[in-house]
Amino acid sequence: MTGVYTVSQINTYIKNMFVKDFALSNICIAGEVSNCKYHTAGHIYFTLKDENASIACVMFASQRNGLSFRLADGQQIEARGRISVYERSGTYQLYANSLRLSGQGELYERFLRLKEELRDMGMFDDMYKKPIPAYVRTIGIVTSPTGAAIRDICSIAHRRNPYTRLILCPALVQGEGAKDSIVEGIRRLDALRPDVIIVGRGGGSIEDLWAFNEPEVARAIFDAETPIVSAVGHETDFTIADFVADKRAATPSAAAELCTFEYEVFLEELSKCRDELDASMQRKLRRTRDALTTRELRIRRHDPGTLLSERKRRLKELHSDMDRQLRLRLKDARARLEASRFDLYGLMTADLKDRKHGLRLRAARLEGLSPLRRISGGFGYICDEDGRAVRSVSSVKEGDMIHTRLRDGSILSRVASVDKEESYGQEG
């Protein structure tokens, strides 16, 4: 059948018509947002509508870099992009590459220009950011005295730490004279030197929050000596004050949470620190005491009196050991001497006995040979005056004195004559 086309061919043909249309390739459409959905991949799908019609729209994640607000149902916006056909479903839609809130385009452009200008001046640089003290005692507040912001700040600060001092400097936060009022409040509180200053208000439109986008307010925040927390609007709202301030809080309530510490938690931490300090001091005291004891012992060891006492004690021990050893050796020597004495006595007794026996034998032998024994038989022993034995008559002469020893005594006599007999003593 001639002239029959597939669905894909028709959708492709229609898409090419949209692409070739110059007006549809770069168009800006105003309308109310509905059916807004943020995809997990980062794409935004939504519908723009007016009283009589609607058009599907999509903003891919790659186009969201310039988006300065969070898209939501009910917002009046101006969406710029191209209209094309989604071939799979055969529907056309706007592929947006930029979005801005309707009626606020001029203010937003002023906001971007001022933001870029101040960034180039270095007023957003982290090197100028002052840290928020961990334990804040006094908080200065620049906001409306009748708004919800001051009530939220007071409520949260009292709940977390009832001893926190709050100083409110009332200020206009929107409308005529708001920027001057905010600048005056910052300067007055900065002169009082609180620990931190909260500058902020509740949420609103870009017109309502515009006082916090003024360069005078930005300069006052930057020049302040006191750390400043900006708490303007809701979490999705950003102002120039947020970028210049030392810290941004999403809401005034979040600013109060940020600037106050929980008193009960502080007491618990203080108690833990006290316990840790006590334990540390005890450990330090023990170490110091041990070191002192060690040094004292070392000094005592090197003290002359201590050394002398130690030497005396050692000398006494040595003396005792020597005396004990001497006693033991003396006892041992005595025992050996006593044993030797008994041995010697036994040997001497045996030897004496042997000698007595030998003496008896010799005495008996001598007895048999003794002149006295013979004398006792009627014989005598003759000797001269000098005690020499007279064995021959020739050894004496007349007139000599001789001694005659008998068994029971001796006789002294003088030789009257000497008569020599030649045959005496010879056998015939």
% of the chain surpassing 90 pLDDT: 41
- pLDDT reading at 426 higher than 70: no
Cβ atoms of residues 73 and 34 within 8 Å: yes
Name the pTM for this structure: 0.49
* CB proximity list for 402: less than 8 A, separation 6 or greater: 382, 383, 384, 385, 390, 396, 412, 413, 414, 415
Per-residue pLDDT at 234: 77
**What stretches of 197-262 show up as alpha helix (H) in DSSP?**
215-223, 240-244, 252-259
- pLDDT reading at 390 higher than 80: yes
- Which residues pair with residue 92 across a beta bridge? 85
Q: How far apart are CA 174 and CA 205, in angstroms?
A: 11
- pLDDT reading at 389 higher than 70: yes
- pLDDT reading at 101 higher than 70: yes
* CB proximity list for 80: less than 8 A, separation 6 or greater: 26, 27, 28, 29, 96, 97, 98, 99
% of the chain surpassing 70 pLDDT: 93
Range 136-261: architecture per CATH: 3-Layer(aba) Sandwich (3.40)
Considering only 168-182, 275-289, 311-325, 354-368, which range has the smallest mean pLDDT?
354-368
* CB proximity list for 299: less than 8 A, separation 6 or greater: none
Q: What mean pLDDT do residues 132-137 have?
A: 92
Confidence of residue 371 (pLDDT cuts 50, 70, 90): low
Task: Kindly report the average pLDDT of the chain as a whole number.
Answer: 86
At 133, the amino acid letter reads: P
Per-residue pLDDT at 103: 58
Q: What mean pLDDT do residues 295-312 have?
A: 77
Per-residue pLDDT at 205: 73
- pLDDT reading at 310 higher than 50: yes
- Fold for 7-103, please state it: OB fold (Dihydrolipoamide Acetyltransferase, E2P) (2.40.50)
Among all chains, which residue has been given the structure tokens 């006290």? 274
* CB proximity list for 137: less than 8 A, separation 6 or greater: 163, 164, 165, 195
Q: What mean pLDDT do residues 119-128 have?
A: 92
How many other β-carbons are positioned within 10 Å of the β-carbon of residue 266?
A: 15
